[in-house]
Amino acid sequence: MRAVVLDGAGSIEVRELPDPEPGSGELVVAPAAVGICGTDLHLATGDYPTGRFPVVPGHEFAGTVVSVGPGVSGFAEGDRVCVDPNVACGGCAQCMSGAPNLCPDLVPIGVTVDGACAELVRVPVRVAYHLPSDVDDETGALIEPFACVLHGASRIGPVAGQRVLVYGAGSIGLLAVAYARAEGAASIEVVEPSAIRRSAALEFGADQVAAPGELAATRDVDLVVEASGSPQAVADALGRLAARGTLLQMGVVSPTATIDLAPYDLFDRELSLVGSQSLATAYPDAVRAMAGLPGLASRMVTHTFGLTDYAAALDAARSDQARKVQILPQQ
């Protein structure tokens, strides 16, 4: 099979690899659509601390089952599926407490083991879900980022009536805008350098949009969703929180990046700094909810590429021209 291979030092190759065979409790899936996100951009340069190289990237995906391993029930060849890429141990303290995303033995597909930017990918059946019949493959590949937003929402209080500020209008930021609007946020502002993505934010429900540096210097935001992964955005966000405001950090920031923080602000204004990493247990809820978001992919996905154009896909994802970039491995 053809597969994209990253070496963690900036090299991107499309290689011929052996076709995977399903072991006990496993499926082999032919990915139909695979999303690119900030994690992949960091992986491509080796700037992701949990990456294991060489690796085939691709953790946001949907496709069709092509073979079924021993001991598998409920799935058959030809079934359309989507996959939670986080394979946790299931027995540690974090898993037992409902935080499998923090499992010390977590095996994220497309990060530490080969993922879906290939003609075939092997997955444990316990992280596979039937794709609803009215959800197309491209929308199915958006279930993973939507699950990340649902998990982020679970880490904070109700959004209804909140003044919300979102940094970044990539897929996570846009989905966060849509979620905040649906949940009754009082107002939603978005900071995004790309004019194309600012326009998308308005389409997804933002009240106002601005380029970096254009917002007035006020402290009137109840909830900041940081979805850009920019240290400068994180620092700027802290200065905009109202008393008892919350910063929800969802963007993937370089592990070597730091910002200045005044601990007195945390004390004096009773601020809350909340991290949200990946999707925890939100994937099944996202699968169910996605059927209620018809046409999402047509609004979100602006660029598609084949496997051999993976480098170009990364360039598009880094540019200010894309909302969401997907790989179509079967083309």
Please write the tens of the pLDDT for every residue from 253-281.
Answer: 988 999 999 999 999 999 999 999 999 99
Q: What is the pLDDT of residue 50?
A: 86
Q: What is the pLDDT of residue 220?
A: 95
Q: Do 116 and 206 belong to one domain?
A: no
Q: Do 175 and 29 belong to one domain?
A: no
Q: Do 168 and 270 belong to one domain?
A: yes
Q: Do 141 and 287 belong to one domain?
A: yes
Q: What is the pLDDT of residue 291?
A: 84
Q: Do 23 and 103 belong to one domain?
A: yes
Q: Do 143 and 19 belong to one domain?
A: yes
pLDDT in tens, 299-314: 999 999 999 999 999 9
Q: Do 216 and 322 belong to one domain?
A: no
Q: Do 228 and 271 belong to one domain?
A: yes
Q: What is the pLDDT of residue 107?
A: 97
CATH number for the domain spanning 307: value is 3.90.180.10
Q: Do 125 and 202 belong to one domain?
A: no
Q: What is the pLDDT of residue 116?
A: 98
Count of domains in the chain?
2
Q: Do 95 and 41 belong to one domain?
A: yes
- Evaluate if residue 150 carries a pLDDT over 90: yes
Q: What is the pLDDT of residue 48?
A: 85
Q: Do 247 and 115 belong to one domain?
A: no
Q: Do 128 and 163 belong to one domain?
A: no
Q: Which two tokens stand for residue 215?
A: 């917002």
State the residue range of the domain holding 173: 156-275
Residues 60-77: what's their mean pLDDT? 98
